Amino acid sequence: MTAFLDSHQLLPELQSAYRKHHSIETVVHKIVSDILQAADSGKVTLLGMLDMSATFDTVGHTILLDRLYKSFGISSAVMSWVKSYITSRTQAVHIGEDQFSTSTVVCSVVSHKAAY
């Protein structure tokens, strides 16, 4: 899927998440570089910080599949793979030898940028 997104240039140019050779260090380097260049040019420099605790949220699997198709054009074999991966999944809590009730997973954690 990453190759498809890259080859069709569907990810924002400066997005570091979900990309090879990109990380939080890549983001920090870009930010520091931009600040230093602006300051060296005599420009007013401002850094706004955001609370990223709500960056990730959940999305229903039906909505996720619909978005992958409509927004990114993912279909056929890749869509079948994604659908089979997220369909009929269950989760349970295990503590020692005890297992608590099993529930069906109907949503996934996704980045807001990816979901919308």
Contact (CB, 8 A) for 108 and 58: yes
Residues 105 and 59 in one domain: yes
Residues 81 and 103 in one domain: yes
Residues 39 and 55 in one domain: no
Residues 67 and 116 in one domain: yes
Q: How many domains does the chain have?
A: 2
Q: Which domain holds residue 96?
A: 51-116
Q: Is the pLDDT of residue 115 over 50?
A: no
Residues 58 and 106 in one domain: yes
Residues 59 and 110 in one domain: yes
Residues 72 and 27 in one domain: no
SS (H, E, C) 64-96: HHHHHHHHHCCCHHHHHHHHHHHCCCEECCEEC
Residues 66 and 43 in one domain: no
Residues 11 and 36 in one domain: yes
Taking only the tens place, the pLDDT of each residue in 27-74 is 888 889 999 999 999 998 888 776 666 556 678 888 889 988 998 888
Residues 72 and 116 in one domain: yes
Stated pTM of the model: 0.47
